[in-house]
Structure 1
């Protein structure tokens, strides 16, 4: 896996499309039991090189019920985005993750992590890519139907502070889904 991670971190496939240049962000280990598939790094993560090192990451760790130490222990949790580099700014936030990364690198990473028990799919991009036609009509319905995807997948909304409205509109998420997620994660790690 060391060579694979080195290759990913040296990737420049979509260099021409990246306003801050390539800086692929990924954290994996062959012993990881959980993998979190997010969207793409934001500007802060691009600067630090630490996945989920932002307000979204803090919220995600709360949802998972894990400490920073557990979250960043690559032998427990792998952190892999759909797009490995910061994609740039769009009208309502960051641009979507680059589409080159997942088909190029994901399967090779999965093949290097034989102990995976749970794949957490954060946001629509990861859910569409992995659940395909099994995905419900939208993110809300997919997250509501989380039991349908167990025990392999667990769909979540993005933990961004921008999603406050969604969380307020869907109180069942904090009451039911987060509690179930924490039980699953606790059992595995």
Structure 2
């Protein structure tokens, strides 16, 4: 059974998922851009398409990606920290289930090219892949993005709340977004 088929059949945390199991991830051995987010939201759970919501629209805008580019698994891997919708909590969605990344991420990463750009979208992805920054604020990680290049670019989650983040941190749009777009374009070209 392929890794994708194993992930699709996963039921490890089914008892903790109030809306059922529907793993959502997309990747291939040629994807040189990897986007690691939190977990699917309710709209993505319904459609089965990663980032198929307003957050995805904003993320594509930030990264300079078209829908066709983002949803081409030969070029872009979409691998959240949790593959299934965890349900609602006060103030947003519940955190991604920890079993998911522990079970699948190492195996998925082994299938991807070593030479890739990884966008770490939100605190959960940043804490997992930049463990030395666990005690930093998300804003500090994002502000110090150059320290993690060329492998990683940390980003805030592109939910509606990111509007406030961008207002409070004008350097994000002025400094980071041009670097992000250049890095994404280079990864898509295979540079």
Does the pair score TM above 0.5? Answer: yes
1:187 alignment partner in structure 2: 186
SS at match of 1:16: helix
Gaps of 5+ in 1: none
Q: Which shifted more, 26-35 or 135-144?
A: 135-144
Which structure 2 segments of 5+ residues have no match? none
Cα distance in 1 between the residues matched to 2:115 and 2:96? 24
Q: Indicate the residue corresponding to 2:49 in structure 1.
A: 50
1:102 aligns with 2:101: yes
Alignment of 1:141 onto 2:140: yes
Cα distance in 2 for residues equivalent to 1:130 and 1:115:
15
Say what the alpha-carbon RMSD is for the aligned residues: 1.2
1:127 to 2:126 alignment? yes
The alignment of Structure 1 onto Structure 2 pairs a total of residues equal to: 188
Maintained 8 Å contact 1:41/1:52: yes
User: Does 2:40 match 1:41?
Assistant: yes
Conservation of the 8 A alpha-carbon contact between 1:34 and 1:116: no
Determine helix, strand or coil for the equivalent of 2:34. strand
What residue number does 2:14 align with?
Answer: 15
Deviations 1:104-159 (A, max 9, x none): 00110111112541111000000001100245611000000000000111100000
1:85 aligns with 2:84: yes
Greater mean deviation of Cα atoms: 81-90 or 159-168? 159-168
| 1:103 Cα offset (Å) | 1.2
Cα separation, partners in 2 of 1:135 and 1:150, compared to 1, 3 Å: farther
Q: Do the aligned partners of 1:32 and 1:116 also contact (CA within 8 Å) in 2? A: no
Change in 2 beyond 3 A, CA 1:31/1:117: same
- How high is the TM-score relative to the length of structure 2? 0.95
Per the normalisation by structure 1, the TM-score is 0.96
